[in-house]
Amino acid sequence: MEDFYREGRKRFKVLMDGDKPIGGKWNFDKQNRKPPQDALDPPPALWFEPDPITQAVIDQVKAQDVGYGAIEPFRWGVTRQQALTVLNYFVSQRLPTFGPYQDAMITGEETLWHSLISPYLNLGPLQPMEVIEAAQKAYFDQELGLNSVEGFIRQVMGWREYIRGVYHVMDDEYAQKNWFNHTEPLPSFYWDSSKTDLNCLHQTLAQVERTGYAHHIQRLMILGNFALIVGVSPQAIDAWFQAAFVDAYDWVMLPNVIGMGQFADGGILASKPMRLQLTMSIK
């Protein structure tokens, strides 16, 4: 990912000073990854009231027997304008502190300083490059810390694009990979958070039921990691993620779950041949 990301920074001239990265380094992670503290006070998430079309869809869904998750309140944006409002809110209120706590988890803090833009990027109301440019502009105009701005741009220009490349380079069998031969069924509490007393799982699963969202560390370290250590079939946990999340798409879910979360691809996601193949296909 690192090689791929640096190529992107150079090619699109993002946070560059000639052919060198602004600040002299590609990565400021040493200033990030701060341990969570009880006294953290992130700005509240920005949500919307449903418009009449959204309300009509909510009513239609309520009439079906969906059987999982809270249908109301539904508070995601549904228009380009709302998606832009979320982006602008993130850049002004959350981006300044995004870096230090991007890997933190705190009970009761569901979104911390994360952007909540993945559904808008994946469905189309936001374009990746405009998101990157908005963050870069804030670095220059508001003199934000490079650790936060670079850390965020790395997520979109690095991780998101890399994952998309991985999906397109892999063959159809990628979805069936099972390196550890894990065969346990998915615990039933993934479909009903009230059925587990394990607090971190209970909290995160209840949040997903209410919002269809969990931030990256919750997905990786709690929801994915538990499935990995109890030997759940990678295909079973992937099917659950695909059903439960508001930003789910095959191209982004599969490498994240099968590769990053479950190591079911045996390390292909991070291997040297994969890096070479991706770099070649992009050039």
* 117 sits near ligand FAD (criterion: CB under 6 A): yes
* 148 sits near ligand FAD (criterion: CB under 6 A): no
* 147 sits near ligand FAD (criterion: CB under 6 A): no
CB of residue 87 vs ligand FAD: minimum separation in angstroms? 10
Element (H, E) at 17: strand 16-17
- Contacts of residue 47, defined as CB under 8 A and 6 or more positions apart, other chains included, come to 75, 76
* DSSP code at position 26: S
Candidates 201, 248, 264, 268: give the one binding ligand FAD (CB under 6 A).
248
Q: Report the distance separating Cα 15 and Cα 30, nearest Å.
A: 18
Candidates 34, 160, 210, 275: give the one binding ligand FAD (CB under 6 A).
160
Quick one: 79 or 242, whose CB is closer to ligand FAD?
242
* 95 sits near ligand FAD (criterion: CB under 6 A): no
Q: Report the distance separating Cα 252 and Cα 171, nearest Å.
A: 15
| Binding region for ligand FAD (CB under 6 A) out of 26-34, 58-66, 174-182, 239-247 | 239-247
Candidates 32, 97, 118, 204: give the one binding ligand FAD (CB under 6 A).
118
Number of residues that bind ligand FAD (CB under 6 A): 28
Q: Report the distance separating Cα 3 and Cα 183, nearest Å.
A: 35
CB 95 within 8 A of CB 139: no
* 204 sits near ligand FAD (criterion: CB under 6 A): no
* 27 sits near ligand FAD (criterion: CB under 6 A): no
Both structure tokens of 271? 């291997």
DSSP string, 264-275: TTTTGGG-HHHH
* 93 sits near ligand FAD (criterion: CB under 6 A): no
Q: Report the distance separating Cα 93 and Cα 133, nearest Å.
A: 17
* 116 sits near ligand FAD (criterion: CB under 6 A): yes
* 261 sits near ligand FAD (criterion: CB under 6 A): yes
Element (H, E) at 187: none
Residues 178-197 that bind ligand FAD (CB under 6 A): none
Cis, bond preceding 73 (omega within 30 deg of 0): yes
Residue 20, classed as helix, strand or coil, is strand
CB 238 within 8 A of CB 244: no
CB of residue 115 vs ligand FAD: minimum separation in angstroms? 3
Candidates 205, 232, 244, 253: give the one binding ligand FAD (CB under 6 A).
253
Upper half-sphere CA count for residue 186 (Cβ side, 13 Å) = 16
Candidates 241, 264, 265, 268: give the one binding ligand FAD (CB under 6 A).
241
Residues that bind ligand FAD (CB under 6 A): 114-118, 121-122, 155-156, 159-160, 163, 215-216, 219-220, 224, 241, 245, 247-249, 252-253, 256-257, 260-261
